[in-house]
Structure 1
Amino acid sequence: MSKAKIAVISYSLWGHVAELAKEAAEGARATGADVTEYQIAETFSPEVLVKMKADKSLTKDLPVLNAQDLKNFDGLVFAFPTRFGRAPAQVSALFDRTGGLWASGSLLGKHVTMITSAGTQHGGVETTALTTFPFFVHHGMIYVPIGFQFPELSEISEITGISPYNAATVAGGNNSRRPTEKELRVSKAQGTYFAEIVGQFVRGKI
């Protein structure tokens, strides 16, 4: 039986998104999927990263994604923070390098989902999904949201970044808040759910 091939692709400045992405990758692997983790190329200089107190420890050893790599997978999990309610420049730079893939229809019909984070509770975790949809739509990809299947989305005992669009976290204005147990749990569950959906599609094609 053919395994679903899934890429978990992260851009993370302070490690919040990287933590969630690691959980999603683990959840996807639990289904038997073939999972490869990547990082998105950095555009900030090392000097700027030091001044920003960036934490790349969770992604530094991951291979940097080449846009052409995207066509090799059945499912894509993009994990990146919000920047003013949209994808950061590093992610947009990757998207801008997919023109050839668009022209050849190489991403048509592939499944995709997202994980994100914001500095505040209303800082853009949902709008980042919405403002990234045009990229998915232009490539003809199929977005897989998580809906309200997980009880954590309906609990109001604590602040979380989770939405029916995807798992997410709230990092805090000074990035001091780490992903909570609930946010990590939903991220792992999202990885499992996504891999199951992609797996059904792959098996149906055989």
Structure 2
Amino acid sequence: MTKVLVLYYSSYGHVEQMADAVAEGARAAGAEVDIRRVAETAPEAVVKGAGFKTDTAHPVIESPEVLAGYDAIVVGAPTRFGRMPSQMAAFWDTAGGLWARGALNGKVGAAFTSTASQHGGQETTLFSTLTNLLHFGMTIVGLDYGFAGQMGVDKVRGGAPYGATTIAHSDGSRQPDADELEGARYLGRRVATTAAKLFA
């Protein structure tokens, strides 16, 4: 059975919801799926002062070495000024040993994100994540246009050909909608089916 890891960081819960949806999609495609989050690195005063969400059902990932046990890794993180946030970057910065021995070469990788606005850095954040995965030798899967829910301008819509996205509004009040969650499920299914074909 294909093993998929959904690895995320979420400040306010939007990316966490998307992570759950990615996992649903991968499981629907027959994969065994684990969800892990990276550790919070912001000072406790900042976490409390900014109202970060601290209750979650998902455990913190034990170490980068865990990544080698999966066929596919889907990485989710919100934007920080158009790039991957420091919490997620700090985790990948400790994974040099995996890179050095090519432990992730050929595995499937994908990304998802959340931004405050439709033009708040979704694509550059996805690229900063995918760039990391490419450097680790991974085969990238995007949110292809087989998912029609990312098309149209009739409403606020997340989604990009580079990965699943949601839009949170500047105060975090907007939650992922049905189309955005379905985009995350679609991405999870695509990752799982691609990995199954590669490792058959």
State the match for 2:112 in structure 1. Answer: 115
Q: For residues 38 and 129 of structure 2, what CA distance do their matches in structure 1 show?
A: 16
State the match for 2:3 in structure 1. Answer: 5
| 2:54 aligned with 1:56 | yes
State the match for 1:170 in structure 2. Answer: 167
Q: For residues 28 and 65 of structure 1, what CA distance do their matches in structure 2 show?
A: 22
| 2:195 aligned with 1:198 | yes
- In the TM superposition, what is the alpha-carbon distance from 1:159 to its structure 2 partner? 1.1
Closer/same/farther in 2, CA of residues 65 and 8 from structure 1, 3 Å limit: farther
AA in 1 matched with 2:105: L
**Mapped contact 2:143–2:186 kept (Cα < 8 A):** no
Q: 2:19 aligns with which of 2, 6, 21?
A: 21
Q: Determine helix, strand or coil for the equivalent of 2:198.
A: helix
Q: For residues 43 and 57 of structure 2, what CA distance do their matches in structure 1 show?
A: 14
State the match for 2:135 in structure 1. Answer: 138
**Mapped contact 2:8–2:88 kept (Cα < 8 A):** no
Q: List gaps (5 residues or longer) in structure 2.
A: none
State the match for 1:38 in structure 2. Answer: 36
**Mapped contact 2:8–2:16 kept (Cα < 8 A):** yes
How many residue pairs get aligned? The number is 200
Q: For residues 154 and 161 of structure 2, what CA distance do their matches in structure 1 show?
A: 18
- In the TM superposition, what is the alpha-carbon distance from 1:30 to its structure 2 partner? 1.1
Runs of 4+, deviation exceeding 4 Å? none
- Deviation track 1:7-66 (CA, whole Å, cap 9, x = no partner) reads 001100000000011011011111221111101111023332111111133x35423341
Q: 1:105 aligns with which of 84, 99, 102?
A: 102
AA in 1 matched with 2:4: I
- Provide TM-score, normalisation by structure 1: 0.93
State the match for 1:87 in structure 2. Answer: 84
State the match for 1:184 in structure 2. Answer: 181
- Deviation track 1:90-118 (CA, whole Å, cap 9, x = no partner) reads 11101110111111111111110001011
State the match for 1:153 in structure 2. Answer: 150
AA in 2 matched with 1:46: E
Q: For residues 133 and 184 of structure 1, what CA distance do their matches in structure 2 show?
A: 20
Q: For residues 91 and 181 of structure 2, what CA distance do their matches in structure 1 show?
A: 26
State the match for 2:71 in structure 1. Answer: 74
AA in 1 matched with 2:14: H
Q: For residues 26 and 192 of structure 1, what CA distance do their matches in structure 2 show?
A: 8
Q: List gaps (5 residues or longer) in structure 1.
A: none
The two structures, once aligned, show a CA RMSD in angstroms of 1.3
**Mapped contact 1:12–1:56 kept (Cα < 8 A):** no
**Mapped contact 2:35–2:58 kept (Cα < 8 A):** no
Q: Determine helix, strand or coil for the equivalent of 1:80.
A: strand
